[in-house]
Structure 1
Amino acid sequence: MATVFGVDIGGSGIKGAPVDLDAGALAQERHKVLTPQPSSPEAVVEAVGEVVRRFGHQGPVGLTFPGVVVGGHTRTAANVDKRWIGLDAAAMFQDALGLPATVLNDADAAGLAELTYGAGRAHGGVVLVLTFGTGIGSALFVDGALVPNTELGHLELRGKDAELRASSAVRERHDLSWPQWAERVDEYLELVERLFSPQLIIIGGGVSRKHEKFLPLLTRREAELVPATLRNDAGIVGAAMAAAKAG
């Protein structure tokens, strides 16, 4: 069994577990801690260390980040402390953990897992993976190849970032009913379809485990729409995949 550790850093929670890359599943039950507030680099690094040390892991660690990541450097930070912008995050985690570390965009990680093991497995053409949580993450694939860091949650919708209207956190914050929220998600999906014409849209993030409450309400679309198979574990699995690929 090929086991690598994956950590998924979100705006509200940090979760991690060893991953069985042969099966594309968590090898042990994940451990989750709340994302520190404020989510400064130092505080988040400490929280990640707590998650990794809990398993006594020795070896490569893959980590997701809710923002643009290029060459291990974090370029944006929409839902975490702005002090992350411009940092060599991979080097920071590697120094703190004393282990090889690979960092990538959180939705890209979830997308890689879904395209390899989940709902997008062996699916050609244009596939879009959308994660609804604190914000809206996106991973765009063309014939299985990732177009990294698309960050489509920041497309403008009704004069503001789309994730400020249609994220899962917005539904909870404003106590929206499922039909009310579905109307907003429908409007957002219509926008991304106009721009990218995907054949398949995979809905992930924490809300995907309740997909039966809102997916049937989404009607204004052309693409096939399915829930993520790996649900909210996809980011952890994708992070581990990236770490294994980096060696």
Structure 2
Amino acid sequence: MSLLTLAIDVGGSSIKSIILRDDGTAASERSQIPTAHPATPDIIVSQLLDLINTQGDYDRIAIGFPSVVENGVTRGAINLHPDWDGFTLAEVLQNKLGKPIRIANDADVQGCGAIAGQGVELVVTLGTGFGSSLFLDGKLLPNLELGQHIFRDRDTYEDCLGQAALDRIGVEVWNIQLAEVIASLYKLFNFDKIYLGGGNSRLVNVDLSSNLSNKIAIVSNDLGLIGGLALWRSSGS
């Protein structure tokens, strides 16, 4: 029996949702609302419940969330609010909705929708922050938080490529820094493919040497929704 999955992508600037069939085709229109600020757990949970209540029939929920997620518990979400550290999001939503829910890091979810499942594949999401996920032969290596790692001097990857950096330095310099980051990440991971997603991937225009250009793919931000199906497929459900 085909099940309908309500896929939700929580971001620092917007929250998106769609109902998907098992084959990844849409069973509803795509919805999007601005992320409220301050983005405390109470406020975002309220937004999620309001959004979910406007959707049609569905059987289960998959959520991509901008933090490390361990067994449905969020571990920090620096682009939302400090109160997310240790918040039992899956349990709270389960109690209010009565539907099965699975939650994972948003870059992990986007990666599940993007990868080919061969070799070392790195996924980077460029948006409010800098998300990342890493796969080996299709298997997720969880809780990779490159965004908070030092890239150069005292600046992290997120300091160089997050929305605040883009606003400050402009698209041209941002792309120069992105090219430097990709070259650095290649030395670190020797990836077979790097996928660039997130809302700001539309701005990517990097000048890379030929030995890396064939290893780079820009992917649709909608994969942050479609990848939610993998949270259920991984268990055979």
TM-score (structure 2 length as normaliser): 0.90
Q: Which moved more, 1:104-113 or 1:31-40?
A: 31-40
Q: Which moved more, 1:33-42 or 1:236-245?
A: 236-245
Offset at 1:74? 0.9
The question of 1:16 aligning with 2:17 is answered yes
Structure 2 counterparts to residues 25-44 of structure 1, below 5 A: 25-44=25-44
Amino acid at match of 1:16: S
Offset at 1:141? 0.5
Q: Distance in 2 between matches of 1:221 and 1:54?
A: 48
Residue aligned with 2:175, SS? helix
Q: Distance in 2 between matches of 1:55 and 1:85?
A: 28
Structure 2 counterparts to residues 147-166 of structure 1, below 5 A: 147-158=141-152, 159-166=154-161
Q: Relative to structure 1, is the Cα distance of residues 155 and 7 closer, same or farther in structure 2, using a 3 angstrom cutoff?
A: same
**1:118 corresponds to which residue?**
none
Residue aligned with 2:108, SS? helix
Residue aligned with 2:45, SS? helix
**1:235 corresponds to which residue?**
224
- What is the RMSD computed on CA atoms of the aligned residues? 2.0
Query: Higher relative contact order at CA 8 Å, sep ≥6: structure 1 or structure 2?
Result: 1
Q: Distance in 2 between matches of 1:221 and 1:34?
A: 39
Deviations 1:89-111 (A, max 9, x none): 11011123232111100000000
Q: Distance in 1 between matches of 2:4 and 2:58?
A: 11
**Tell me, which stretches of 5 or more residues in structure 2 are unaligned?**
none
Match of 1:188 among 160, 181, 193: 181
Q: Which moved more, 1:102-111 or 1:160-169?
A: 160-169
Q: Distance in 2 between matches of 1:25 and 1:207?
A: 24
Offset at 1:192? 1.6
Match of 1:142 among 123, 136, 142: 136
Amino acid at match of 1:4: T
Deviations 1:16-57 (A, max 9, x none): 1101331x3433221111111111111111111122111133
**2:112 corresponds to which residue?**
112
Q: Percent identity?
A: 32
**Tell me, which stretches of 5 or more residues in structure 1 are unaligned?**
116-120
The question of 1:65 aligning with 2:51 is answered no
**1:198 corresponds to which residue?**
191
Q: Distance in 2 between matches of 1:52 and 1:169?
A: 30
Q: Distance in 1 between matches of 2:51 and 2:211?
A: 40
Offset at 1:12? 1.1
Deviations 1:118-164 (A, max 9, x none): xxx2x411010111001111110111111011011122122122111
How many positions carry a matched residue from both structures? 233
Q: Distance in 2 between matches of 1:169 and 1:199?
A: 30
Residue aligned with 2:28, SS? coil
Q: Distance in 1 between matches of 2:185 and 2:162?
A: 15
8 A contact 1:110–1:234 mirrored in 2:
yes
Q: Distance in 2 between matches of 1:237 and 1:62?
A: 10
Residue aligned with 2:222, SS? helix
